[in-house]
Amino acid sequence: MTVKLGLVGTGTVGSGCIDIIQKHHDDFKRHYGIEIELAQVCSRNPEQAIAHGVEDIFTQDYHDIIQNPDIDIVIELIGGTTAAKTLVMEALAAGKHVVTANKALMATCGQEIMDLADEQECEIAFEASVGGGIPIIDPMKHSLISNQVNTVLGIVNGTTNYMLTRMAEDNMSYDDALKEAQAQGFAEADPTADVDGFDAAAKIAILASIAFNSRVTLDQVSTEGIRGIMPTDLLAAKEMGYCVKLLAIANRTAKGIDVRVHPTMLPLTHPLATVNGVFNAIYVVGDAVGETMFFGEGAGAGPAASAVMGDVLEVARHVQAGVKPLVGCTCTDHLPLVPMESLSTRYYIRFVVEDRSGVLAATADVFAQHGVSVYSVIQRGTQSGESVDLVYVTHMAQEKNIRAVIADVCKLDGVLAGNHEPTVIRVER
Which residues participate in catalysis according to the annotation?
203
| Residue among 4, 7, 12, 191 that touches ligand NAP (CB under 6 A) | 12
C-alpha closest to that of 230 among 152, 136, 299, 167: 167
Does 304 participate in binding ligand NAP (rule CB under 6 A)?
yes
110, 132, 197, 263: residue in contact with ligand NAP (rule CB under 6 A): 132
| 102 near ligand NAP, judged by CB under 6 A | yes
The alpha helices in 322-341, defined as continuous H runs, are none
Instruction: Give min distance, CB of 317 to ligand NAP, in A.
Output: 22
Residue 160 and residue 246: Cα distance in Å, rounded? 7
Residues 6+ apart with CB under 8 A from 142: 327
- 74 sits near ligand NAP (criterion: CB under 6 A): no
Q: Which CB sits closer to ligand NAP, 301 or 404? A: 301
The verdict on 78 binding ligand NAP (CB under 6 A) reads yes
Nearer to ligand NAP, 265 or 307 (CB): 307
For position 191 contacting ligand NAP by CB under 6 A, the verdict is no
The distance of closest approach from Cβ of residue 83 to ligand NAP in the complex, given in angstroms and rounded to an integer, is: 4
Q: Considering CB under 6 A, how many residues would be counted as binding ligand NAP?
A: 24
Do residues 293 and 274 lie in contact, with contact meaning Cβ atoms separated by under 8 Å?
Answer: no
Query: In terms of Cα–Cα distance, which of 327, 275, 337 is closest to 126?
Result: 327
Using the rule CB under 6 A, give the single segment among 7-15, 21-29, 345-353, 390-398 that binds ligand NAP: 7-15
Q: Rule CB under 6 A: which of 277-296 touch ligand NAP?
A: none
Question: Contact between 139 and ligand NAP (CB under 6 A)?
Answer: no
**Least distance in angstroms from the C-beta of 166 to ligand NAP:** 20
Cβ distance to ligand NAP smaller for residue 102 or 401: 102
* Beta-carbon-side half-sphere exposure of residue 415 (alpha carbons within 13 Å): 22
Q: Does 109 sit near ligand NAP (CB under 6 A)?
A: no
Main-chain phi, psi angles of 98, to 5 degrees: -130, 135
Q: Contact, 359 vs 414, CB < 8 A? A: yes
CB nearest ligand NAP: which residue? Answer: 11
Query: Does residue 302 bind ligand NAP (CB under 6 A)?
Result: no
CA–CA distance, 72 with 143 (Å, rounded to integer): 27
Query: What are the φ/ψ torsions at residue 264 (nearest 5 degrees)?
Result: -135, 140
Q: Are 265 and 428 in contact (CB under 8 A)?
A: yes
At closest approach, how far in Å is the CB of 104 from ligand NAP?
7
Q: Does 343 bind ligand NAP (CB under 6 A)?
A: no
Should residue 154 be labelled a site residue for ligand NAP when binding is judged by CB under 6 A? no
Minimum distance from CB of 11 to ligand NAP (Å)? 2
Query: 335: which DSSP letter?
Result: P
**How far apart are the C-alpha atoms of 377 and 356, rounded to whole Å?**
16
Query: Quick one: which of 1, 32, 33, 45 contacts ligand NAP (CB under 6 A)?
Result: 45
14 interacts with ligand NAP by CB under 6 A: yes
Helix or strand holding residue 286 (H, E): strand 279-286
Q: Give whichever of 204 and 299 is closer to ligand NAP, judged by the CB atom.
A: 299
Does residue 387 belong to the site contacting ligand NAP (CB under 6 A)? no
Cβ atoms within 10 Å of 85's Cβ, excluding its own:
18
In single-letter form, the type of residue at position 238 comes to K
What backbone phi and psi angles, to 5 degrees, belong to 67?
A: -85, -5
User: What does DSSP assign to residue 372?
Assistant: P
Among 77, 106, 366, 372, binds ligand NAP (CB under 6 A): 77
The separation between the first and the last C-alpha atoms of the chain, rounded to the nearest angstrom, is: 53
Amino acid, single-letter form, for residue 189? A
Is there binding between residue 63 and ligand NAP (CB under 6 A)? no
Residue 210 touches ligand NAP, criterion: CB under 6 A: no
250 and 204 Cβ atoms separated by less than 8 Å: yes
Which is nearer to ligand NAP, 8 or 359 (by Cβ)?
A: 8
- Given the complex with ligand NAP, which of 303 and 422 has the nearer CB atom? 303
Are 117 and 92 in contact by the 8 Å Cβ rule? The answer is yes
Crossing angle of helices 231-239 and 158-170, in 10° steps, is 70
Interacting residues with ligand NAP (CB under 6 A): 8-14, 42-45, 62, 77-79, 83, 101-103, 128, 132, 299-300, 304
